[in-house]
Amino acid sequence: MEEIKNIALVAHDNRKRDLIEWIEWNYTSIIRHKLICTGTTGAMVEQALKKKLESDFHIVKLKSGPLGGDQQLGAMIAEGKIDVIIFLWDPMQPHPHDVDVKALLRIAVLYNVPIACNRATADFIISSSLIGQKYTPVMKDYEAYIKRDIKLE
């Protein structure tokens, strides 16, 4: 990871307000980094930053989560294009794309990407001294898994 991080921002509908408040509170730290957002979250984050900065701020906007945005983000993680994820998901609401959410969380853990699922963890990540430094996460070696012997029946 370079000093400038690729930070993914995702929020379920009932948590979008929380994410926007978090963005407004932490915008001076966040604007140093490249932001990638899913769906309408991206438009809301862009508006909030534009209001704070009084100028435009470019955000990479993916599709809405249920329309494939979660999967796009998962692919970016697998390609090493995401360094940090702030994903405020709603644990009290069922979602039609729960399997996509679970897959996104799984791929983030698999690739050792820091992921905040609540505001407190997001605060710890954005205020860490590591957020503005080069950092090399320890990666698990899956070579043995890839080369495992598969029996065809």
Which residues are catalytic, by number?
70
Name the token pair of 47: 């508006």
Name the token pair of 45: 């984050």
Distance CA 5, CA 23 (A): 16
Which residues sit opposite 86 in a β-bridge? 9, 116
Distance CA 148, CA 151 (A): 10
Identify the three-state secondary structure at position 54: coil
42 and 70 in contact (C-beta within 8 Å)?
A: no
42 and 61 in contact (C-beta within 8 Å)?
A: yes
